[in-house]
Amino acid sequence: MNPMNPLIVTLLVILGAGLLLVFALVGIYNGLVLARNRFKNAFAQIDVQLKRRYDLIPNLIEAVKGYMAHERETLDAVIKARKGAMAAEQQVAANPSDPAAMKELNRAEGQLDGTLGRLFALSEAYPDLKANQNMLALQEELSTTENKIGFARQAFNDSVMAYNNRREVFPSVMVAGIFGFTQAALLETAEEEREAPKVSFK
């Protein structure tokens, strides 16, 4: 036998093993990038609906203002909460993988839901308002938008979860650590929203 052969064979084996390792690393890295881009992409879908809701609120305020003039405080709270939520939404849209921004959005959205809920609860006391066509249309529109947000949020959270899970398992966790794939936060339903009366005027 040629004395070079064992050396070359060893070399080849090392080469093969190295190749497999590289494949595995590339595969893991690509998988992480893919999962991260996937949930970022999913946020773009909610984003449109959130904006739609923010756009509807001034119309709502306009519609109820005439009837609920002495509920100024509640109206102002809604306006303020909307502003806060919009600012938070912009932060998250810029980088959906930033957990701090997402927490802020969760908080701001919770506040908005809470104030809106209060507004609707109060409006129950105004029979004229309840019969107002404009108001009914707006409420219908808002609740449809909320349904859409709910479904899109579920999809978003699923993909965030998929990313986080992928990130945490071995050996991905090592690659994730090296390349800075950080844990992403969920877009959660605030408690207030669950309690918020589903705008029904029957």
Residue 148 contacts another protein per CB under 8 A? yes
Residue 152 contacts another protein per CB under 8 A? yes
Residue 151 contacts another protein per CB under 8 A? yes
Closest approach of another protein to the CB of residue 189, in Å: 14
Residue 41 contacts another protein per CB under 8 A? yes
Q: Would you tell me how many other CB atoms lie within 10 Å of the CB of residue 104?
A: 19
Residue 189 contacts another protein per CB under 8 A? no
Which range, of 20-28, 60-68, 77-85, 114-122, touches another protein by CB under 8 A?
20-28
Tell me the C-alpha distance between 185 and 12, whole Å: 45
**Helix, strand and coil in the chain, % to nearest 5:** 85, 0, 15
Return the closest-CA partner of residue 202 out of 145, 141, 127. 127
Residue 91 contacts another protein per CB under 8 A? no
Residue 134 contacts another protein per CB under 8 A? no
Among 58, 150, 177, 197, binds another protein (CB under 8 A): 150
CB 187 within 8 A of CB 49: no
Q: Would you tell me how many other CB atoms lie within 10 Å of the CB of residue 38?
A: 15
Which range, of 78-86, 114-122, 152-160, 184-192, touches another protein by CB under 8 A?
152-160
CB 156 within 8 A of CB 45: yes
Closest approach of another protein to the CB of residue 143, in Å: 9
